[in-house]
Structure 1
Amino acid sequence: MPASAEQHFMEITKVDLRGLEPGRPGWDEARDAVTASMVAHGCVVVHVQHVGLDDDIRQALFGRAMPELFALPAEAKQRNANSDVQYGGYIGQIPGMAYESMRIKDVTDAGQISDFAGLLWPHGNPAFCETVGEFTKNAVSLEKTVTRMVLEGLGVRAEHALDSHRDQLCYSLRMSYYGICPEENAAKVTLPEHRDYDMTTTIVQHEVEGLEVQLKDGSWFAVPPEPDTVVIVAGELLNVVTNGRVRACLHRVRTPSNRERFSALLGCMPTQGSTVRAMEQLVDEGHPLVYRPCDPYEYCAFQYSEEGRTSGDAIKAFCGVAKDGPAAV
């Protein structure tokens, strides 16, 4: 018999990260809890109130900036076209799906945010840019903290190794709107189950339920849209970096209440031209190499190709090490 939703919530422990710094009281305990959740589920729910993602910035983003963004005409939104990754810009107008999404790449660069606003509003939108910039700054800081905890928790303690990993990363922000489902969509699934191709995705929900993650027993756990929590899910490239220790999280969006909702997703990717490989500290006799080094952008294209979609395990098909194959990092 599947465990109850309450039991599932006990499994995905909400970890309090407020006021924590490496080497300070509480860090080790939080690090171990974050790592355990990521290893078990490919995701972690963290408590972040008063660390830069509080009510004020959320209200500015979800209460004003995003409604203003998605109220624009379709022809304006379609100007958001990025070719760096598959589905890199505007997604929408899909038959049978009440879903629209827009993406700002390299969102830590204020110029990219300004350019995005300039595409959509004739005179720009300084208030929008300020809100997105502030939200992004704090979300990136949180993602770096969580990733550091995971790598430390798995045994990567050398600062140069942590710095080397962090220095090759870049961030994008995807803002998503989920509308009322068509009547024929009885399950109220507005985004089908999938695994992200990136390192991590930091997901901030707003007021309305939607995010569901699959647990080990195959059941689905609905992550409550609590105002003081953020969810970080592992992508396929983190699977490579951790040598298979952290598997990508299978997740979907389902809204049984059939209400409109917004969410913001901070995606973390390696920079163009970089190579993703298992960290050498995580490869040993007890943990032989699972994945060969790969180009992250070639993998992204492969995941969405016919071969990738039908492979059953796209990252394994793309760069997995066969049991009898070579195992050099």
Structure 2
Amino acid sequence: MKELVEVPVERKQKNASPIPYHGWVGPCNQVSMLYEGFGLGDASNYDSVKSFAQLMWPDGHPHFCNTVHTMATQIEELNKLIWLMIIDSYGLGEKWESVMINYKSLVRFMKYMAPPPGDYERGLFAHTDKPVSTIICDDQVSGLEIEVDGQWIKLSLSPSFFCFVVGDPLKA
């Protein structure tokens, strides 16, 4: 991740998308001055990862490609397994194929900068997740907070922890 945020802004801007948050988002007042993020669609497809890497680095950064592709493929499998359990718990196991037919994954690499000493500022505005589900992998940064009964609780996740978040479409 460190290598990715060190890429010159001119290259980062090439990771553009008409869909909000599916491309590069640099520090800005509309989102947060402490946030930077990159979107990578279809990351379980090696060619998609390679195309992204070629935008960022002249040599295409093969190590980055292999690492991201492997991780994205494994996370996608984890997501499908969790969804299979959810669908099966409703007695809809045979509907699995029809539910996942339009499944599209998006990997987001996000960097939250520390606020100035003495200041408390959220890295990103309070929000709910718009996708059906999100899997969060924390990279040794304890920045994830959840709101419970109007109080914000900071989560401390271990490096091997994955957080599965049910998004807005599934909330009743």
TM-score (normalised: structure 1): 0.49
* Pairing partner for 1:113 from 40, 44, 49: 49
* Pairing partner for 2:139 from 178, 202, 206: 206
Contact kept in structure 1, 2:128 and 2:168, CA below 8 Å: yes
Give matches, 1:90-101, under 5 Å: 90-95=24-29, 97-101=33-37
1:98-123: CA deviations, max 9, x gaps? 11100111212111111001111112
1:262-305: CA deviations, max 9, x gaps? xxxxxxxxxxxxxxxxxxxxxxxxxxxxxxxxxxxxxxxxxxxx
Gaps of 5+ in 2: none
* Pairing partner for 1:151 from 87, 92, 95: 87
3-state DSSP of counterpart to 1:206: coil
Query: How far does residue 218 in structure 1 lie from its aligned partner after superposition?
Result: 2.5
The whole-number CA distance in structure 2 between the counterparts of 1:234 and 1:158 is 18
Query: How far does residue 225 in structure 1 lie from its aligned partner after superposition?
Result: 2.2
Runs of 4+ in 1 over 4 A off after TM superposition: none
Query: How far does residue 238 in structure 1 lie from its aligned partner after superposition?
Result: 2.7
Structure 1 pair 137–231 and aligned structure 2 pair: CA distance change class (3 A): same
The whole-number CA distance in structure 2 between the counterparts of 1:221 and 1:147 is 26
Give matches, 1:1-329, under 5 Å: 66-83=1-18, 85-95=19-29, 97-153=33-89, 155=90, 157-182=91-116, 186-215=119-148, 217-239=149-171, 244=172
3-state DSSP of counterpart to 1:170: coil
Structure 1 pair 99–110 and aligned structure 2 pair: CA distance change class (3 A): same
TM-score (normalised: structure 2): 0.90
Name the residue aligned to 1:310.
none
Query: How far does residue 179 in structure 1 lie from its aligned partner after superposition?
Result: 1.1
Q: Which has the larger radius of gyration?
A: 1
Question: What is the one-letter code of the residue matched to 1:101?
Answer: G
Count of aligned pairs:
170
1:56-107: CA deviations, max 9, x gaps? xxxxxxxxxx111111111111110022x22320011314611110011121
Query: How far does residue 183 in structure 1 lie from its aligned partner after superposition?
Result: 5.3
